[in-house]
A and B are shown apart, each in its own frame.
Chain A
Amino acid sequence: MTEGQSDTFWKSLYIYFNEMDFESQLYVKKIYKIIILTVAIISFIIAFFLERFSVCVYSTIGASVLCILVLAPAWPMWKKNQPNWQQANWQKQK
């Protein structure tokens, strides 16, 4: 990680949005399926009674876009449970 920070601005930006802590990864894996399926089922029932299929399609795509914006980048709220890595012991490796 110390070498990565000395790289260019864009590389550090990519690392910032790429790296999520382990518990958040598990949480995101569960929550995006729940959000999209819930929106799909509810909007399908509403669309069935309105007889307008576009209601269902657009709300499912909207839920998906919301999930991509919130869950895909590693925002600061997905970095709260950082693991405590052991300090590198450079003496032993000699």
Chain B
Amino acid sequence: MYSITARFNQIVFFTSWTLVVLSLLNQGTAYFFKTGKPTVDLKILSADKFQHYKATYYNGGATDWDQVTFKFSLEADFEPVYNWNLKQLFLYVNVHHEHQQKGYESDCVIYDKIISRPDDPSSWSTSSKLVLKNQRAEYPLKDIHKQLRNATVNFEVWIEVMPYVGYIRREKLGDFEYKMPQQYN
């Protein structure tokens, strides 16, 4: 404490240690708040542009593939996972698909969204509800084994819970089976 720089240094570093302890306490007390499983409902409305694509020099493909784009509606409520340690939620819709003949398994993410938590708790109940109506999937589902016709694909809705302090937790919210069309359209 003999010089101005020594006093500045001690105050700044004491503050940063205090903030470290406070953020650990934040993570520790986050479990006292209400917890639960978020509810989600996914409906696949249509499978568009279901086509067989030929590999050419111009699309850089090595093999032919099947491709399909989905339209869906999704309703979800994430208020059970909201607490003061949550920074944001990462929602993604994964298509899990097992091939009938050879037993290959494939996973493909067709939609994702970042849901930020507002700081003010009074607006949590409105901001935590996600309603997507007639939403087109961001990414198409491709299959190089060309076995998508008449297949049963499984839509999985996942969230990643990203807190301010602590580990990122991944949780599956629901499985939704869908029967693919029999013919290309």
Contact = CB atoms under 8 A, between A and B. Distances in A.
Interface string B74-106: 000000000111000000000000000000000
Contact of B33 (A51, A67, A68): A51
Contact of B14 (A14, A20, A32, A61): A32
B24 to A, nearest CB: 11
Contacts of A14: 4
A59 to B, nearest CB: 10
Contact of A20 (B1, B10, B15, B33): B1
A53 B1 contact: no
B62 interface: no
Majority secondary structure of chain B interface residues (helix, strand, loop or mixed)? helix
A68 B11 CA distance: 7
A68 to B, nearest CB: 5
Given A25-B1, A50-B121, A53-B84, A64 B11 contact: yes
A36 B3 contact: no
B18 A53 contact: no
A68 B8 contact: yes
B1 A29 contact: yes
B66 to A, nearest CB: 48
Interface stretch (A1-9, A69-77, A79-87): A69-77
